[in-house]
Amino acid sequence: MDFLLEINTEEMPPAHVKAGQAQIEEKLRIELTSAKIGIKDLKTYGTCRRLIVVGDFVPAQEDREEVVVGPPKAVAFAPDGTATAAARGFAKAQGVEVGELQVVKTERGEYMGRRKIEKGKPTSEILLKILPQIISSLSFPKMMRWGESPFRFSRPIKNLLCLFGEKVVPFSLEGFVAGDSTTGHKIYSPQRLIVKSFSDYKEALKKNRVAVDEAERKKMILAQMDEKLEPLKAKLYPDEELLEKLTYVVECPYVFLGSFSKDYLSLPLELLSTAMREGQKLFSVVKDKKQLPYFLGVADACKDSKSLIKKGNERVLKARLEDAKFFWEQDLKIPLKKRSLGLKQVIFQEKLGSYEDKTLRLKKIVSYLCDKLEAPKIKQEVIQAAELAKVDLLTEMVREFPSLQGKGGGLYAKQEGYSSLVSLAIYEQYKPMSLEDESPSSLAGAIISMADKIDSIVGAVGVGIQVTGSSDPFGLRRNAQGICKIILDRKLHFSFYRLLDKVLLIYGQKLERTVEEIKSLCQDFFVNRLRYIFEKRGYRYDLINAALGASIDNIYYSFLRVKALDGLKASPHFEPFILMAKRVNNIIREQPPFKINPDLFLEKQERELHSTFSIIKENVEPMISKGDFSQAQNIIFKIQPSLNSFFDRVLVMAEEKKLRQNRFALLQAISRLLLQMADYSQIVVEGEREVKAQGSK
Amino acid sequence: MSIQDLIMNLQKYWTGQGCYLAQPYDLEVGAGTMTPDTFFRVLDKRPWKVAYVQPARRPTDGRYGENPHRVQKHFQFQVIIKPSPADIQQIYIESLSSLGIRLEDHDLRFDEDDWESPTIGAWGVGWQVLLDGLEITQFTYFQQAGGIELMPVPVEITYGLERLEMFLEKRDNIYDLNWSSDTTYADLRMREEREFSEYNFSQANIAKLRKTFAMYEEEAKNLIQKSLLLPAYDMCLKCSHVFNLLDSRRAISVTERVKMIGQIRTLVNQIALKYTGREASS
C-alpha cells in the first residue's frame, strides 16, 4: 500500500534537508522492520520547504505467534495419559481446555504449552504511533524553537500531510494533525491543495510550481543553463557545491543570464567568481578558462518576463564587483613583503603566538621537508613562499572573502612578479580542503601545505586542544587527513616520526604537554585518520589494523602494506599463515627477549627453520625497505612448511632452560621480522570474524 | 515611493498587525536589536509586539560618503513579536506586497543566515531575505538573549530601509535615494557621513575612548548593584559604541577584542539575570 508523508516547513538550509531525508528514511526503516511491517519501497525527496517520504508497505503487521510454556510433559500427564493437576491448572490459567495444550520442545526437554497467534495490527495504526516519535527525534546541525513550545526542529513546521493507502494517517505533533492537504509555491500558490496519492501529490505540486524531486530540479537547472550558455559557446565555472545548494534552495528553478561591465574583467577569475557566489549565489561564466562579462543565476520563479530579476541582480552584483575591485587595487598598493610586518598583530592561537611566529616555524619546517624529500633545487623558493604564505590574511580581499585565503596571496604574489613556483605554492597551501579535493599540483605547494598542517596539529595538541566527536575547533582532522592524502597522492617517503621530532624541537618551550605525550597523541591521531581514509577506500578493517599496527613512520608504506594484504587475502597461503603467525605470537607472549645461539639447536627441524628463516630474512628485508610488501609477503609465506614441521616435531617448552630459551629466541626473531610487515594478530580469519566485527565499531 | 513613504507604510502595516509603534532609542546602537524595546522585552514571558525605526551606527562601515552602498549610519525598521505567530512568514511576505511589490515578478528567497551578537549574549536562527539578490531583511527567531534561553520565542524582522528603498527606486547609489519628494539622501546625510568617517577613522581620541570605556563599565557595575537595570544597560550600550569607535581606529588587538566583548557581555548577562529575577543568590 502506498505511503506518503510531507513535513512542510519554513525554509530549511540545504544541509538540513539532506540530513533530514537520510535520517527519516533510516528511522522509518528501522521502526517498520522491528514492527514486522514489510517494506516494498521507501524513498525520500526534499526541497527547502518540504521533507517528503514515499513508500510501499504491507497493509498490516505479520501475525505473531507466542508460545507460553507450562509444565514438563512428564509432569503434566500421568503414565496412563490422563492430565494431572499441573496440566489442568496451567490450562485453566491460560483459559483453554487441556486438550488444546500442545507439546513444546525446549532445550530442557518436552513441555506442555500453549501457542497463541496474535493478529498483526494494521500498518496505519503503527504509523500513527511511530511517526511523531520519528519526526521528533530528527536531529539537525543546528536546532531551533519557535512560538511557545520547547519542541526543536530545523525550522518551524507549517503543515503535516500523511496518507497510507489513500487514507489520512492523522497523527498529532506539536499542535498539528496530519491531513491530506499541502500548499504549492510560497508566492505563486500558497492556497491549500488536497491530494490522494503520491502521483496525485506530485502532479498537483507541479501544477502549483513545485518540483518535488531534487534530481529533477537539478536536471531542470542544468538544461536551462545549457540553453543560456549554448549561444555564447561558454561554460559554467564549475561549482558543484553551489549547484547542489541551489537545487534545494529553489522549488521552481528558473535560470537567468545577466551581464556586467567589461571593466571588471581585469580582476582575477577567483575573485570575480567568489564575489558572485557569496551572497547572491551566482555562477560565473567562462570561455577558454577566461571570465566572460556574464553570470548565471538560479531564481525561485517561473519566469522573468519583465527582466526584473535579472536587472535587480545586475545592480547588486555591480556594487559587489565595485567593492572587489576596490579591495584588489587597495591591496596591490602595499607589497606582500612590506605587509608581512603586520603578521605579528594577528593571533594564530593564544598560546601559540602570532602568525609571525607561525611563519618563522613554517620556514624551518619547509626547509627540513625539502631536505628530506631531496628537493634542494626548490628549497630557497619554498622558503620564500612560506615567508609570504600567511600575509594575505591582512589583505582587504581575504578579510571580505575568507574563502580566498591562500588563493589571494598566490594571486598577489603572481601580480608582484614572484616566480610561478612561489605564487603557486602560496596559492595551493590550503589544498586539499577535504578528502574529495585535489592535493596541491606542485611539490612546493605540497610541502607548504604539509608544513602548515603539521605545525597546527602539533601546536594544538601541545596546548591541549582536544578533538572530540563533534568538536574540532582547529580543523585538526581535516589537517591530518590533508597531510595523509598529499603523501599518498604524491607517493612521498619520509620519516613521519622524525618530522614530529623536528616540529616539536621548533616549538621548543611553547608547548604545555611533554614531548613524549604530544608525540604519542599525534601518532594515535594519525593512526585514526589513516584508518578512516583506508576504510573510505574500501579496505577491510582488520587488514587496516594489521597494516597500521606495524608502524606509521612511513605513511606511504602504511598504504602499501594494507594494499599488499588486500591483494593477498584471497591467496590459499594467507589464512594458514595468519594462524601460524598468531601461534608464534602466543607462544612468545610475555617472554623476555633471548638471543639465538645456532650451536644450541638440537633437532633437525629447528636447524632447518633457522636456516630457512635466515635466507628469507636476507631476501625480504631489502624488499620491505623498498616498500615492496607484496613480494616480501610471498616470500615470507615460504616459511610455513618449516614452521609446521618445527611445531610438529619440536617441543618449545623443553625441560632444559638453554634449549627452551634458544627456541624462544628463534621464534622471537621470526616475530620481529613479521612485525615489519604487519601486525598479523589483528587479522581475523574465518570463524573469528563475526565476533570481532561487532566489537570494532 | 520615498523613504519617508516607506517608513509610513511599514508603520501602518505593522500597527495593523497589532504592534505598538515605538520611537527610536536616543543612544548610539549598532542595531535595533540592542535597544531596550527589544532587549528587555524579549527576556520575560509576557507577549510583546512592537515596531520602530532605529538608526544604527557602525563606525567601521563609513566610507566618507564615497561608496554607493556603505554608510556608517543607516536606518532599520525593527519589528519584534513574541511569541512568534505561526504564520509570521506569510505576514512578512504580505508586508512586501503592501509596499506595492508584485512578488510574482521577482525572486524572493529566504537564505540561511543565523544571527549572533556576542556583545549582548544573543543568538537566533533565521534567514537573510533576498529580493532579486538584494538583502532587504534579516528574519530571526531569537533563541537566546543576555545569555538566557528565551521562552516564548520572539521573532525579529529587521528591514534595511535604504536597501529596500534602493530596490523600490531601482537605484544603485544610496545617496540618490529620495527621502521625500524633494529631498535626497545626500541632502540629509552626506555631510554627516563625511565628518563622521573622518572622526571614526582618524580623529576619535583613542586614549580618551579607553578611559571612557572603563568609566562606563564601572558605572554599569555600580548600577547593577543598585538594581537600576535600565540605566545600567544604557552604560553597556555606551561601552559597546566606544568599543566600535576604538575598533574603527584599529586600536584593538584580537585578544583585546575578545576581552572587551566579554566584559560587556558579562554585564549584560548580569542585567538579564536580575531583570528576569533569576539572579543567583550570592
Most B CBs within 10 Å: which of A8, A9, A10, A393, as the mutation test of the B interface? A10
Cis omega (within 30 of 0) on the bond before A141? Answer: no
Partner-chain contact A315 B68, CB within 8 Å: no
Mean pLDDT of chain B: 94
| Closest residue in B to A346 (Cα–Cα) | B254
Partner-chain contact B106 A309, CB within 8 Å: yes
Partner-chain contact A345 B253, CB within 8 Å: yes
How do beta strands B48-57 and B20-21 pair?
parallel
Q: Cell digits for A283? A: 555562477
Q: Which residues of B touch A316 (CB under 8 A)?
A: 132-134
Q: Of A270, A226, A216, nearest to A248 (Cα)?
A: A216
Burial A109-124 (b: 16+ CB within 10 A, else e): eebbbbeeeeebbbbb
**CA distances (Å), B185 to each of B30, B137, B176, B177, B193, in order?**
20, 20, 6, 5, 11
Q: Which residues of A touch B112 (CB under 8 A)?
A: 11, 13-14
Whether the pLDDT of residue B185 is over 90: the answer is yes
Q: What pLDDT was estimated at residue A697? A: 35
Below-70 pLDDT ranges, chain A: 470, 687-697
Q: Of A681, A627, A313, A599, nearest to A492 (Cα)?
A: A627
Assess contact for A45 and A214: CB atoms under 8 A: yes
Location of C-alpha cell 520442545: A105
Partner-chain contact B130 A144, CB within 8 Å: no
DSSP state of B199: I
Q: What pLDDT was estimated at residue A1? A: 93
Whole-angstrom Cα distance, residue A230 to residue A219?
16
The percent of residues in chain B predicted with pLDDT above 70, rounded, is 98
* A119 CA to centre of own chain: 43
User: Sign of the C-alpha dihedral, residues A601, A604, A606, A608?
Assistant: positive
Partner-chain contact A319 B68, CB within 8 Å: yes
Amino acid present at A530: L
Q: Which residues of B touch A144 (CB under 8 A)?
A: 125, 141, 143
Task: Enumerate chain B positions whose Cβ falls within 8 A of a Cβ in A.
Answer: 67-69, 83-86, 89-90, 93, 103-112, 114, 125, 127, 130-135, 141, 143, 151-153, 155, 166-167, 170, 172, 253-255
**CA distances (Å), B189 to each of B32, B56, B64, B177, B183, in order?**
19, 14, 11, 11, 11
Q: Cell digits for A360? A: 618563522
Assess contact for A91 and A98: CB atoms under 8 A: yes
Distance from CA of B225 to the nearest CA of A (A): 32
Partner-chain contact B132 A316, CB within 8 Å: yes
What is the rounded radius of gyration, in angstroms, for the C-alpha atoms of chain A?
34
Beta bridge partners of A163: A4, A168
Q: Which residues of B touch A249 (CB under 8 A)?
A: 109, 111
Nearest-10 crossing angle of helices A420-427, A379-388: 50
Phi/psi at A253 (nearest 5 deg)?
A: -70, 130
Confidence of residue B255 (pLDDT cuts 50, 70, 90): low
Location of C-alpha cell 613556483: A421
Whole-angstrom Cα distance, residue A646 to residue A580?
11
The percent of residues in chain B predicted with pLDDT above 90, rounded, is 88
This model of the complex carries an ipTM of 0.94
Whole-angstrom Cα distance, residue A504 to residue A633?
36
Partner-chain contact A312 B84, CB within 8 Å: no
Q: Which residues of A touch B167 (CB under 8 A)?
A: 312
Partner-chain contact B106 A317, CB within 8 Å: no
Assess contact for A281 and A298: CB atoms under 8 A: yes
Q: Which residues of A touch B175 (CB under 8 A)?
A: none
Q: Which residues of B touch A190 (CB under 8 A)?
A: 90
Partner-chain contact B255 A345, CB within 8 Å: no
Distance from CA of B199 to the nearest CA of A (A): 21
Q: Which residues, at least 6 apart from A417, have a Cβ–Cβ distance to it below 8 Å?
A: none
Whole-angstrom Cα distance, residue A281 to residue A299?
10
Partner-chain contact A146 B155, CB within 8 Å: yes
Distance from CA of B111 to the nearest CA of A (A): 7
Whole-angstrom Cα distance, residue A692 to residue A152?
38
Whether the pLDDT of residue B280 is over 60: the answer is no
Location of C-alpha cell 567589461: A262
Q: What is the pTM of this model?
A: 0.81
Q: Which residues of B touch A346 (CB under 8 A)?
A: 254
Please name each of the domains of chain B with its CATH number: 3-200 (3.30.930.10), 205-275 (1.20.58.180)
Q: Which residues of A touch B131 (CB under 8 A)?
A: 312
DSSP state of A438: P
Q: What pLDDT was estimated at residue B282? A: 41
pLDDT (tens digit per residue) in A271-301: 999 999 988 999 999 998 899 999 999 999 9
**How many CA atoms lie within 13 Å of A22's alpha carbon, on the beta-carbon side?**
8
Partner-chain contact B125 A144, CB within 8 Å: yes
Location of C-alpha cell 490459567: A93
